[in-house]
Every structure is written in C-alpha cells, then in structure tokens.
Amino acid sequence: VTLDRPTVRNAINAAMREDLPRAIRAADANPDVRAIVIRGAGPKAFCAGADIREFTPPSSLTASRQAKQSNRWLDALALVGKPTIAAIHGYCLGGGLEIALACDIRIAADDAIIALPEVTLGIIPGAGGTQRLPRAIGLGPALRLMLTGERIDAQEAYRIGLVSKVVKAADLDLTWGKLGEQLSEAAPRALAYTKEAARRGAEMSLEDGLRLEADLSTLIQGTRDRIEGASAFRERRKPVYLGD
C-alpha cells in the first residue's frame, strides 16, 4: 500500500484517513495477499504526518468529538490478521510515525528521519502515538521523543528498538520484498494467531496471556497447514501452506 501524495511528502489528509484503512482491510480480505507493506511515494518521505493545511478549528461540538475519535483510524492496521510492514524512508514524522507504529514490523532506509513533532505544533500525537510508542520502545525513550519532538536518524531508531533493520536507501524495496516473501511462505493462520497472542497478550496479565496462547495453540492443532508443516519436514520438502 503506497501513501501517494509525494508533492506534500505524503501528508495525511482526510481522504487518506479513509482510504488507508479501506486498503488494508481489502488486502486482509484478499486470499492472494499474505503480507501487507506500507511505503511512501517519492524519494523524500515515507510520510510527513497530518496535512497541516487541514488544521482548522472544529466547526461544531460533533466535529470536535469526531476529531477526538480520529486516533482510531489506524486500528485496522493493528488488528488485521496478516503481518504488516512499514518500509520507512526519508521523513517519517508525526502521523507518519504513528502509521509505522501500528505496523507489526518496521524497517528503515539509512536516510530516514523520524520524529513525533506534535508538541512543537501545540498538539499531541493523537493517532495512537502516545500509546503505541511507549509500548514499542519503553516509557523513558518514548517520552524523550514525544516531549522534545527531536528528530532521530535511522541508526538511532535502530539503537532504541524503534525499527528492527536499517538498510541502504537503494536496498529498501529489495529488503521489504524479501521480508514479504519470507512471510508469504509461512502458514497464514499461524501468523495470525501468533500476532493475536502477542498483541492482545501484551495488554493482559501474564496469566490471561498464557491462557489466550493455550487457546490459540489448541485451535491451530485443527488446521490442515499444521499437518502440512509436519509432513513437509518428514518428507524433506518445502511446505505449501494454503491457510486452512
């Protein structure tokens, strides 16, 4: 899925807030899709955040309430069963980083510049950033980034665990392509259940999380892909997983 407004550094306007979740849900529903990659069009940016030109006072209480609920527009990304990858290059600011934070895996080109500059604009990271960044990298480092709005480069993002891999900018497409292929070869339901156990479990007590893991582990026993995995191992061949 390409964020495609390169002349404004792929800034997120109202249409994108509707289109991105729709595209993600469509990809999730498409049986030919095994992994979802989000990237930015053009050489300069993954995404420079919310379209600042759309920042106007809300026209009514209803509009204000709606705006407050707008932090949920990225839920689709966090909740789909298929693995999601953010392939970050250039500027990845504000809402752009919040998109990446909703993804399962973040990889970055060495030209990436990453920040949550909201406080410098008099607002807060309001598309999940205040919640997802501390959960991704810990409270202290997250507060440093959010309270200062400081820009960090790809290496620093790697050092603090915000991205899991840094590659040369010219190699980014190849890298997400390979990662996508690797994920496409895995059993789709195993990926979905692993994701569910880890994501939902992170919000639970260890006891409840282990119960959820046990339930999903039981459910996966009934899948044909589990039989295929074991058969392929015995027959010394690559498994062919069909997702059931």
Interface residues toward ligand CAA, by CB under 6 A: 8-9, 11, 44, 48-53, 91, 93-95, 98, 117-118, 121, 125-127
Nearest residue (CB) to ligand CAA, 122 versus 140: 122
d(CA 41, CA 90): 10
Least separation in angstroms between residue 167's CB and ligand CAA is: 21
Nearest residue (CB) to ligand CAA, 55 versus 233: 55
Catalytic residue among 18, 54, 118, 185: 118
Least separation in angstroms between residue 51's CB and ligand CAA is: 4
Q: Is 118 a residue of the active site?
A: yes
* Helix-then-strand count for the chain, H and E: 11, 9
d(CA 228, CA 238): 10
Which DSSP symbol is given to 40? E
Query: Look-up: residue for tokens 């249409």?
Result: 15
d(CA 42, CA 9): 8
Which DSSP symbol is given to 73? G
Nearest residue (CB) to ligand CAA, 20 versus 35: 20
Q: Is 203 a residue of the active site?
A: no
Nearest residue (CB) to ligand CAA, 5 versus 189: 5
b vs e for 21-47, b when ≥16 Cβ sit within 10 Å of the residue's Cβ? bebbeebbeeeeebbbbbbbbbebbbb
Least separation in angstroms between residue 127's CB and ligand CAA is: 4
Catalytic residue among 98, 181, 185, 228: 98
Least separation in angstroms between residue 90's CB and ligand CAA is: 8
Distances in Å between the Cα of 167 and the Cα atoms of 42, 96, 108, 152, 232 are 18, 19, 6, 16, 33
Q: Give the active site residues.
A: 98, 118
